[in-house]
A and B are shown apart, each in its own frame.
Chain A
């Protein structure tokens, strides 16, 4: 099984901050990595797929990158509507989600 480890588990940030969330895969998954945003009581919303491709309609302040087995989601300038939980997901072998990163208001 491929394990996905996200860090940090939670973070506190202010509007306008640059936020970086990391997801590490237990083995090489190439670029088969997606990112989702989930707000309480709602379904996840796709932000990025193929590690760095922005889903249509998603603001450009969201970006994704990869270095080896480490993937990052960057929010360049945090907005009030960005406070949520973020999940990574691999699709190299079946589908596995990370444990989530909760972004809270500082």
Chain B
């Protein structure tokens, strides 16, 4: 089954304690991306990756890091989390940017709800 998995699904942590949210896809997709969702602000892109070892900043990259060492994995790293990073995070993948051709689509993970105290 085609899917994007994220772990953990829920996380409570304290300010400054490094954490990693994993994202994995089983569709051999080249494009992967991280978003955060906050009430009234919609979705905002954090980082994206066009392929292995190719990453770039989205709209709100401050305080986050990513890596893409393998095609299937795209972890999101918060080196020193702060309360303003409390949010709902989504990972997504697609054959290429925008879901590829018109018949291809983008797949989203189930989300990770993070609370930073």
Whether A associates with B in a native complex is no
